[in-house]
Structure 1
Amino acid sequence: MDIVLARLENTRNLFDYKSETSADLVEWGEEATDRISSWVLAMARRFTEKIAGKNLDDAFSDGRADTTEERPSVSVGIGRSWASVYRRGDRHEAHFHPNTALSAIYYVTAPDTCELDLLDPRTGIGYYDSGISFGGEGHVIRLRCKPGELVLFPGWLKHAVPEFGDDSLRISLSWNIGFSLGDPPEGRP
């Protein structure tokens, strides 16, 4: 928590709806943020492999048209990472993370639970309205996470943070995660 608050003092990303550090967590040179970023990458790989039902390298190779080439390894990497600090009245409107395979949020501290709304992506899509709706269409799922928990979800999924109503701080760390062929870039977990 102290690392985040110290970084926040020197930031220009003080929005009217929350405070956010501007520099990538992986560039801070802090052992704690490097360690948690490496753990998040490992969890993102496990999450993806669990959904795919197979090793990430195999899942990628199975989806390729040309299988005569040597099977490449797939690395999981961080595109951008930051810390968010919420005070009473702060919130973050519905948004998604373009060009991001997975979004990850780790909850550092909060007085009780950290709420995160996941929005049904089917709403607002311009298609023929038959007058019927499908189960769950237009619904919002509210997650109530405790500090120490990690949430992973597709980067295309709209999400929002409802208004924070406590006098203490709510701090979370976030990562935009992607996949690439080969080893991750130098200096990135």
Structure 2
Amino acid sequence: MSSPNTPEIIPIFPTPLVTFDVADSAALNADLRRVILQRELTHPSTQHSNLGGYQSSWDMDRWGGAPAVKLLAVARNVANRITTDRKGAAGSGPHPGFFAITWHGNMWANINRSGHANEFHSHPGAYWSGVYYVDDGGIAEDPSLGGEIEFMDPRGALPAMNAPHLGVAMPGGLTAGATERLSPRAGRMVLFPSWLMHQVRPYRGSAERISIAFNLSL
């Protein structure tokens, strides 16, 4: 319990990282997996941040059919729930106290097999970016398989420059100036500000790590 003699640590300028487990994801993932694997057979990979693996064109909302449209609708709904105006009014809604947001989205599929990864990058031109895990490739059960999404401290190395052996006694205070990692889990959606630098660690499993990345812009 706090007391008058207990210092209070107040985190300021936070960077939001949002996780959301999609309901009834098993059936959705089966449909998405089928569509993505078929696309890989008929269309060549693009090359952006991916180091090996397959990355589709960035218009999955057009070729992915009903399951892709449904997933993008879920992403828009989550973005509405976590976005406010500068006065604190909540996102899109039909009643007083809400303001209207029209999110324009695009999405693309990624397949990483053994040794594949994605280098550090950001998503210019968007407000929210995110990833949805169709198949975690067994990482949820065996974290040693790697394949985590890794976020770079937006302050760069500055917090660790003077005393790299020290941290702050608060959540996230031990990785200041470094990175934070989040393991994939099938059915989980992760949203983050599009300016936040991130990469995917090499996947070391023998299955397929299948994800869908997306952008939401105004």
| Structure 2 CA distance for aligned equivalents of residues 30 and 23 of structure 1 | 14
- Number of residue-to-residue matches in the alignment: 164
Q: How far 1:26 sits from its partner (Å)? A: 1.1
User: Pairwise mapping of residues 40-189 of structure 1 onto structure 2 (< 5 A)?
Assistant: 40-49=75-84, 53-56=88-91, 73-78=100-105, 80-109=106-135, 110-113=137-140, 115-123=148-156, 131=162, 135=173, 136-179=175-218
SS at match of 2:72: helix
Residue equivalent to 2:26:
none
Amino acid in structure 1 at the alignment position of 2:176: E
Q: How far 1:53 sits from its partner (Å)? A: 4.0
Amino acid in structure 2 at the alignment position of 1:170: R
Q: CA RMSD in A?
A: 3.0
SS at match of 1:75: coil
Describe the superposition over 1:55-108 as per-residue Cα deviations: whole angstroms up to 9, x where unpaired: 2369xxxxxxxxxxxx97321220x31000000000001111111101110000
Q: 1:29 to 1:96 in 2, by over 3 A?
A: closer
| Structure 1 CA distance for aligned equivalents of residues 149 and 199 of structure 2 | 6
Task: Tell whether the 8 Å contact from 2:157 to 2:178 is kept in structure 1 after alignment.
Answer: no
Is there any run of 5+ residues in structure 1 with no aligned partner, and where?
59-70, 180-189
1:7 and 2:47 correspond: no
Return the TM-score normalized by structure 2. Answer: 0.66
| Structure 2 CA distance for aligned equivalents of residues 175 and 52 of structure 1 | 27
Task: Tell whether the 8 Å contact from 2:46 to 2:57 is kept in structure 1 after alignment.
Answer: no
Task: Tell whether the 8 Å contact from 2:107 to 2:212 is kept in structure 1 after alignment.
Answer: yes
Is there any run of 5+ residues in structure 2 with no aligned partner, and where?
1-32, 141-146, 168-172
Q: How far 1:47 sits from its partner (Å)? A: 2.0
1:20 and 2:55 correspond: yes
**What percentage of aligned pairs have identical amino acids?**
26
Runs of 4+ residues over 2 Å off in structure 1: 10-18, 49-54, 71-74, 129-137
Q: Identify the structure with the greater strand proportion.
A: 1
Q: How far 1:30 sits from its partner (Å)? A: 0.9
Task: Tell whether the 8 Å contact from 2:133 to 2:187 is kept in structure 1 after alignment.
Answer: yes
Amino acid in structure 2 at the alignment position of 1:77: H
Q: 1:171 to 1:48 in 2, by over 3 A?
A: same
SS at match of 1:94: strand
Amino acid in structure 1 at the alignment position of 2:205: D
Return the TM-score normalized by structure 1. Answer: 0.75
